[in-house]
Amino acid sequence: MIQYAADYIPKMQEGHSESGLAVYRQYTDIIYMHGLFPVVLYGFYAQRSRTVYYFFIWNFMHFIIDITKMGFMQPRPIWITKDVMSIYCSA
């Protein structure tokens, strides 16, 4: 899987433009978070106990996902090849 990503991602990034990267960043980060915020805000006022329950379940689910990712310790494609460009740095 890592080798596939290391081969595929540089092909996908060829000929990219700055506007294309900006649109991709908005799609992956900004739209996701801003799209989720109104739903959570509405849920908090409409059904507070259910929203708090879903909030804790969501965080627990991501905690398990993060622990599992750390357990596998697979390198990211950006670590193993210089052909893959990082759009921006994040932790």
Evaluate whether residue 5 is within a structural domain: no
- Residue 65's identity, in one-letter code, is I
Whether residue 4 is contained in a domain is answered as no
Residue 48 belongs to some domain of the structure? yes
**Would 70 be classed as within a structural domain?**
yes
For 51, the domain range is: 17-80
Is 75 within the bounds of a domain? yes
DSSP state of 14: T
DSSP string covering 67-87:
HHHHHH-PPPHHHH-TTSPPS
Please give the model's pTM, rounded to 2 decimal places.
0.48
pLDDT digits (tens, 9 = 90+) for 32-82: 667 777 777 888 888 888 888 888 898 899 899 888 888 877 777 767 777
pLDDT band at 2 (very low <50, low <70, confident <90, very high): low
d(CA 44, CA 16): 40
Q: Reduce the DSSP state of residue 8 to 3 states and report it.
A: helix
Classify burial at 43, counting beta carbons within 10 Å of its beta carbon; exposed 0-12, middle 13-18, buried 19 or more: middle
Does 3 map to a domain?
no
Residue 1 has pLDDT above 70, yes or no: no
Local confidence band at 5 (pLDDT 50, 70, 90 cut-offs): low
Number of domains making up the chain? 1
Cα 25 versus chain centre, distance: 10
